[in-house]
Amino acid sequence: MHSIRSRTRGYSIRRSRRAGISGILLFFAVLLSGAAPEKRLSIYSTAANYSLPMVQREGRDYVGLLELLDPLGRVSAKSDPPRWRLHYNNIVGDFAVGKSHAKIQGRDADLSGKFLVENGRGLVPVACLNSLLPRFLGGPATLDEESGRLFIGNIATHFTASVAADDPSHLVFHFTSPVNPSVASEPGKLRMNFTREPLTAPASATLTFGSKTIPSATYSEGNGAAQITVSSSVPLMASFSNDGRTITLAPAVSQSANVATPTASPQNNSAVPSPAGGSLSSVPRRYFAIVDASHGGNDRGEALSATLAEKDVTVAFARRLRQELENRGISTLVLRDSDASLSLDERAFFANTTHAAVYVALHAASNGHGARVYTAMLPYSSEDDRGPFRSWSTAQHSSITLSQLAAASVAAELKKQQVEVRTLTAPLRPLNNVVAAAIAVEVAPSASDVSQLTSPDYQQLIASAVASGIANIRAQLGAVP
């Protein structure tokens, strides 16, 4: 349970700050058939970085003035049509509907277009912000109307990109301030989308690296964001370090990295996926279920007793669960069948690339009784989900109902075996990163004796019930493409 709580905390923290590790992020892109994203204006300042929707009126882009100033200071507005009065700190602005001039502290200001009021909201043309905002803020504001980005004060994040001297398959970005882009990949490309960072253009929009693996990258801006698109000959993963100031892109599966030792049941020998062998993009076999023994390697999980580590208990449960699932005709891949270290993102990446119908993470705990079955708590996300790529953090979104169904089915089977069980929603990674139905089962002893967790009978009882719970809804799970 300790580990689950710590994951819960880490979840809400920017990934670049995750303690102890440089969060390795593997990315899995999901194409969405989305409508065109609404136009947005991103604002960068020392006080806050944020973005607002723009509306099209009178043939130009407009933005709400109150909303724009709100994060920057004390602000209020009074609508008394056709008059509209705004207070920002000690500055007063007087606007009138349909007029293209306003008075700021009694002095004339050109709005470059008509002032509008809708539902009490005062709207100004975005084009006037360059000249209008300094009248309120007392400092410079620089608008890039083309890309929908507004810089308040002298704020900018610069970056460099170069291949690592010792390994041309690694591309290293250095940023002058911490960054936390959303990242998505598609064949041949990895995109980093920066909406909260005042990223500024490099000297050339196209960067070339002379690397066979990563030949080039391009920088672009648009719709309130800056984007770096890296072309590559292999799938890439991004790792954050140096408190978010460094991003290293490397092949998602390195030949030398001991990242995973997935094993398949004997009957699947002909098509064992071999992430360690570097053929992730062409994993041939679709497994119905992925069983993930949580923790491993340096991550021991909870110390269940002086000698018993959670990481060892989860492997034992995983092996039994695979056997029980196979007994029910469900092809199963165990993600960690050794003491390998596997990051949460790697686990989700493997689950997603094998196109499994269900993902089951196993945990063990010393406190409490019986089993807890978790489904993902998805983060609130508004802007992360824009555009053609679904955000990594909400990959689970379209399967959450199926996940809850799986959790209920597993819980029902456990109850049948007189196992005390609770179903819970938790921001427990990597559940939210898995595209398929995804649950986590945390096993505690049925009595207070922790050694029970290593008892073959108890492991068998739990594994059998979980497998039955999955098998009972295989039709629903399998119906998802």
Interface residues with Zn ion (CB under 5 A)?
A: 3, 294, 301, 363
CB distance 366 to 439 below 8 Å:
no
Closest CA to 394 of 360, 430, 359, 422: 430
- Of 226 and 293, the one with the shorter C-beta distance to Zn ion is 293
For residue 406, the SS3 value is helix
For residue 450, the SS3 value is helix
Phi, psi of 100 (to 5 degrees): -100, 10
Cα(465)–Cα(443) distance, integer angstroms: 12
Whether residue 430 has a cis bond before it, omega within 30° of 0: yes
CB distance 289 to 332 below 8 Å:
yes
With b for 16 or more beta-carbon neighbours within 10 A and e for fewer, the 163-188 pattern comes to beeeeebbbbbebeebbbbbbbbeee
Which residue shows structure tokens 């602005």?
A: 93
- Of 170 and 363, the one with the shorter C-beta distance to Zn ion is 363
For residue 301, the SS3 value is coil
Structure tokens at 227: 């984007």
- Of 244 and 301, the one with the shorter C-beta distance to Zn ion is 301
CB of 61 to Zn ion, least distance (A): 49
Closest CA to 180 of 225, 233, 150: 225
For residue 399, the SS3 value is helix
CB distance 128 to 112 below 8 Å:
yes
Whether residue 168 has a cis bond before it, omega within 30° of 0: no
CB of 301 to Zn ion, least distance (A): 4
